[in-house]
Amino acid sequence: MGPVCWHKKQNRKLVYNKKIAFAAACTGMLVFGMTIVTLGSLANELKEKFSLDNYDSGTLFSILPFGLIIGSVIFGPIADRYGYRNLMVLAAIGIFIGFEGISYSGNLGLLRAFILLFGVSAGIINGVTNSIVVDLSDEHKGPNLSILGIFFGLGALGMPLLLSVLITRMSSLQVLAGMGWVTLLAGIIFIFIQFPPAKQTEGRVKVEWGKLIKPILLLISFFLFFQSSLESIITNWTTIYIGSRQLMSESWALVALSIHMLGTVLMRVITGTLMRKASQVGILWLCLFLLLLGVLLMQLGTNSYIVIAGLFLSGAGVSGGFPVMLGFVGHHFPSISATAISFVFVVALIGNMLINYLTGVLIQQYGVGYLPIICYFAIAVMVLFFYFIVKKLNQENN
């Protein structure tokens, strides 16, 4: 059986095929995976092209998270009122313009504007693709979201690989421009696909705060506040931490980080297929255990093989947070699912930015050796929030 119970749902105006809509969502998530690692891959080339110092470079790259937050804020209420197709098309076109603008802009001010547009469009397509899968899934929301997450991993792993293969023939910026046309093609295809219909068919775009702000959504949001930040902390600081322990070279540390992402992808394959009928609560407890074990091995490992194993396990450990939690959101807020997911993503992105900033301050003050302690703290808080989430779910089921 596929990731969703495939069938055609027909009324007077709409023929809507779940299989095609799900494939389109996966394509959008693949695009998002590629976009989210793009600026990091182009950092050195952009610094050289615009003669940026470290401060200017850092300021430039900080625009992307703000764009992601803006996109995450606006997509939910619009999707619930008007549906998904136009947002998918516009987001793909925005990413295309962002790709081309970043590739060919000769003005720093314009470059910043293109990065902002790029971030807003990426935030929209991330939120919309997750919301589409939630609406498509009658049961198995978590497993279906895990399958969607596989495509994020493929995009995030594939873009650096593509750059490494083509870099001998063209510049990274030329590769980026070519990928922009692929994104535009995806946007054109989205025009002809029917997605789940709008859930609010009358009136203006509005946020129904009375339906939205409930304890279960706040608990989920703050769980993902720390989940998102922990994912980013591991990605941003692990290579420096490994280098400080002198267990492997810088090039091997980058390979180890790719193995971390591989752990995420493989665990999502398992939870999205082999463990489709397993308890989502049980899966997330398993993921939290693997995450803790992975960080322990990264800290206590005495050779490169143990550290790499720790990174693989930590990758598997972070795989479950968003699919399981977004599945819970879709189950509890079916009439405003996109708006609820929008709220959750905004909180998660704020956590990502805030905790990463604080991590940088702490590491600057006390050294990168404190990285595992920061990770343990985040895991402990996630366990605490998840305990209360499970307790709330049990109360509702009784």
What letter represents residue 102's amino acid? Answer: I
Give the integer Cα–Cα distance in Å for 129 and 136.
11
- What is the pLDDT at residue 227? 94
Predicted TM-score (pTM) of this structure: 0.87
Contact in structure between 223 and 321 (CB atoms under 8 Å): yes
- What is the pLDDT at residue 385? 96
Which token pair is 206? 């509005």
- What is the pLDDT at residue 1? 39
- What is the pLDDT at residue 345? 94
Any residues with CB less than 8 A from the CB of 192 and at least 6 apart, and which?
none
Helix axes 321-332, 371-397, angle to 10 degrees: 30
- What is the pLDDT at residue 316? 94
Contact in structure between 92 and 27 (CB atoms under 8 Å): no
Domains and CATH numbers, the chain: 14-197 (1.20.1250.20), 209-398 (1.20.1250.20)
- What is the pLDDT at residue 2? 43
Give the integer Cα–Cα distance in Å for 159 and 176.
9
Mean pLDDT by runs of 10 across the 398 residues of the chain is: 43 64 92 79 73 69 87 90 91 92 84 90 93 87 90 82 74 80 92 86 69 88 94 82 76 77 91 84 94 93 87 93 92 88 93 88 84 93 96 83
